Amino acid sequence: MNIAIVGVGLIGGSIALALKNKDFVTKVIGVDKDETNLTKALNIGFIDEVQSLNEAIKHTDVLILSTPVDVICNILPDILDKINDQQVVMDMGSTKEKLLAIIDKHPKRGRFVACHPMAGTEYSGPEAALPNLFSGKTMIYCDATNSDEDAFDIAESIIDQLEMNTVFMNAKEHDIHTAYVSHISHITSFALALTVLEKEKSQGRIFELASSGFESTVRLAKSSADMWIPIFKQNRKNVMDVLAEHIRQLQNMQNLLEKEDYQSFYKLIKKSNKIKRILK
Amino acid sequence: MNIAIVGVGLIGGSIALALKNKDFVTKVIGVDKDETNLTKALNIGFIDEVQSLNEAIKHTDVLILSTPVDVICNILPDILDKINDQQVVMDMGSTKEKLLAIIDKHPKRGRFVACHPMAGTEYSGPEAALPNLFSGKTMIYCDATNSDEDAFDIAESIIDQLEMNTVFMNAKEHDIHTAYVSHISHITSFALALTVLEKEKSQGRIFELASSGFESTVRLAKSSADMWIPIFKQNRKNVMDVLAEHIRQLQNMQNLLEKEDYQSFYKLIKKSNKIKRILK
């Protein structure tokens, strides 16, 4: 099987590394608008050759789209126009409702399989790729019943190589859940970094004092703006709902501190401790 | 040297484990109001025997206070009343201004060394103790010039065993900085856990979907209310300042999403990325 990785960054590179480690693919073709990234990907060795998107469409069985989500929305309709009835296209984007609406009526809709791996790091680019990034994590398939059965089987045979748990969701449900368990975490980290940078002019002091607790809450603030702005844009309504709720929770704590109502604040912490039951 | 660990939890237990691994102490006496914790500490082996606080004051060279900060404020004046001129008392509390004001005029003030290790985990109790918890982390000494020289030397000889970097600060500066690099992280985690628990009634979905990003921003929400409420109470003013700034940052992002001003939001993320320069 020949595959094309469209967007040779953290996610695309990690998929290619995992597939190469398993000897699952004959050839991996790299597609990216950034020449430097393509050179890095060739040097790391997770792609075998570089092609333009149009060439790659002609020469591959499966195209895996792992660019920022705005780019996926831009290129997918054109890719579907050009592929034949045996080829498969998969995406790895973090938002789905808008994308699936765009191609809803496309005659080749069935050749597309919408995927979202719940895995990543705060780093980006080909050099951030890790062969075991996905192992043990969850892959979400969205609106899978709208994919042709053989297209889904091919996509699944690839995902199987990544050793992930799988979950099925519709696009609407997906975008709501990911706003809660992923997108809001990035917003709070960006805001926390700005809060501390704003106040702590003496940056050496942060470096000296930052404990592992601070590092873990703020590490997502290293994440790429090019990746995250399109996600916030496409999932704007859900992200705004969650953000409003989060601000409300913080204002409630602010209010309890203002009134020195430590008994109610104590109860809130006990309630938040219930997250223990959900996360290991 | 005989030492007493007053409060045999995560911090006290980790200190005792490190000192025992280095064969630095003759005997470790455990003091705690919780009998179960004392039994656990004896079983783990980081204390050699159990004594009441008054007995421990009679039989030890150094007392290390690692209880919640409200308890430290309650017991320290009485301990200083009872110790002799060779004994040393150290605390490991996360707030300092109030504590040091309480004992400012105490005739035995010089026997006290105020310490705060910038290390911890979201877990508590004797079973959470780790021998290498402090290694490579930062220890803050507060108002160290108010400690007698020989008392400070003894405290430092103990801290040296923990393989930490050391920083000196006054109490006021300490409480401001820790509000930024530690206390606010806990507030945001508690609030994030409540936000998600509030909305995600289907807890199984959180479990399935939670990525490592979500886990890292929310893990501090597992932290103990008994430890954190006294910290927020004692550092109320600084925590409220930081929390107000953090809410302002989140509201700014909310406002940009509302207006769909993605260009300004992009710039904010780029600015928050500067945290890369500070944290590895």
pLDDT at position A278 is 78
Considering chain A, what percentage of its residues have pLDDT values greater than 90?
89
Distance CA A92, CA A66 (A): 5
Of B61 and A216, the structure prediction assigns the larger pLDDT to B61
B124-164 pLDDT, tens digit each:
999 999 999 999 999 999 999 999 999 999 999 999 999 99
pLDDT at position A16 is 98
pLDDT at position A199 is 77
CA distances from B126 to A212, B14, B45, B56, B129 (A): 20, 8, 10, 19, 6
Tokens 């969701």 locate to A169
Residue B261, domain CATH? 1.10.3660.10
H or E stretch including A197?
A: helix A184-199
Residues A141 and A64 reside in one and the same domain: yes
Residues A193 and A152 reside in one and the same domain: no
For an interface test with B, give the residue of A139, A205, A238, A250 to mutate (most B CBs within 10 A): A250
pLDDT at position A47 is 98
Residue A275 to residue B193, Cβ atoms within 8 A: yes
A131-183 pLDDT, tens digit each:
999 999 999 999 999 999 999 999 999 999 999 999 999 999 999 999 999 99
pLDDT at A213 over 90: no
**Residues B135, B136, B137, B141: what is their CA dihedral angle, to the nearest 10 degrees?**
90
Q: A222 to chain B nearest CA, in Å? A: 5
pLDDT at position A240 is 98
Residues 222 to 251 of A: which have CB under 8 A from any B CB? Answer: 222-223, 225, 228-229, 232-233, 236, 239-240, 242-247, 249-251
Q: Is B136 left (phi over 0), alpha (psi -120 to 50) or beta?
A: left
Residues B153 and B196 reside in one and the same domain: no
3-state DSSP assignment of residue B193: helix
3-state DSSP assignment of residue A119: coil
Considering chain A, what percentage of its residues have pLDDT values greater than 70?
98
Q: Which of residues A169, A184, A216 is at a domain's end? A: A169
Q: Which of residues A117, A147, A169 is at a domain's end? A: A169
Residues B8 and B86 reside in one and the same domain: yes
Do A94 and A231 meet the contact criterion of CB atoms below 8 Å apart?
yes
Can you list the alpha helix ranges (DSSP code H) found in A28-96? 35-44, 53-59, 69-82
Flag whether residue B123 sits within 8 Å of chain A, measured between CB atoms: no
In chain B, which residues have pLDDT < 70? 202-204, 207, 280
B244-279 pLDDT, tens digit each:
999 999 999 999 999 999 999 999 999 999 998 877
Residues B113 and B193 reside in one and the same domain: no
Residues A243 and A160 reside in one and the same domain: no
Distance CA B8, CA A46 (A): 51
Look at residues A231, A137, A240 and name the one whose alpha carbon lies nearest to residue B207: A137
pLDDT at position B209 is 78
pLDDT at position B204 is 67
Distance CA B156, CA B133 (A): 17
For chains A and B, what is the number of CB pairs under 8 angstroms? 292
pLDDT at position B279 is 78
Domain coverage including residue B273 = 174-278
Cα angle value B89/B92/B94 (rounded, 5°)? 135
Look at residues B190, B226, B260 and name the one whose alpha carbon lies nearest to residue B94: B226
Judging contacts by C-beta atoms under 8 Å, the chain A residues touching residue B277 are: 203
pLDDT at position A126 is 97
Residue A119 to residue B200, Cβ atoms within 8 A: no
Residues A132 and A212 reside in one and the same domain: no
CB atoms under 10 Å from CB of B115, counted, come to 24
Sheet hosting strand B112-118, strand order edge to edge: B49-50, B27-31, B2-6, B62-65, B88-91, B112-118, B138-142, B165-169
pLDDT at position A203 is 63
Report the Cα–Cα distance between both ends of chain A, in Å, rounded.
38
CA distances from B77 to B58, B62, B73, B100, B207 (A): 16, 15, 8, 10, 47
Residue A177 to residue B239, Cβ atoms within 8 A: no
Distance CA B31, CA B37 (A): 10
Residues B155 and B234 reside in one and the same domain: no
Residue A155, domain CATH? 3.40.50.720
Average pLDDT over residues A211-221: 88
Residue A195 to residue B265, Cβ atoms within 8 A: no
Distance CA B254, CA B265 (A): 10
Sheet hosting strand A2-6, strand order edge to edge: A49-50, A27-31, A2-6, A62-65, A88-91, A112-118, A138-142, A165-169
Average pLDDT over residues A261-274: 97
For an interface test with B, give the residue of A192, A203, A252, A257 to mutate (most B CBs within 10 A): A192
pLDDT at position B202 is 64
Residue B249 to residue A195, Cβ atoms within 8 A: yes
The structural domain count of chain B equals: 2
Q: Which of residues A117, A144, A169 is at a domain's end? A: A169
Lowest mean pLDDT among A37-46, A76-85, B78-87, B193-202: B193-202
Look at residues B34, B93, B83 and name the one whose alpha carbon lies nearest to residue B54: B83
pLDDT at position B278 is 78
Considering chain B, what percentage of its residues have pLDDT values greater than 90?
89
pLDDT at A200 over 80: no
Residue B122 to residue A213, Cβ atoms within 8 A: yes
Residues B188 and B249 reside in one and the same domain: yes
Flag whether residue A192 sits within 8 Å of chain B, measured between CB atoms: yes
DSSP state of A63: E
Residues A218 and A259 reside in one and the same domain: yes
pLDDT at position A205 is 75
pLDDT at position A280 is 65
Do A139 and A116 meet the contact criterion of CB atoms below 8 Å apart?
yes
Look at residues B135, B21, B142, B169 and name the one whose alpha carbon lies nearest to residue B72: B142
Residues B155 and B204 reside in one and the same domain: no
Tokens 């630095």 locate to B24
Q: Which residue of A has its CA nearest to B182?
A: A214
H or E stretch including B125?
A: none
Distance CA B199, CA A112 (A): 31
Residue B221 to residue A193, Cβ atoms within 8 A: no
Residues B162 and B215 reside in one and the same domain: no
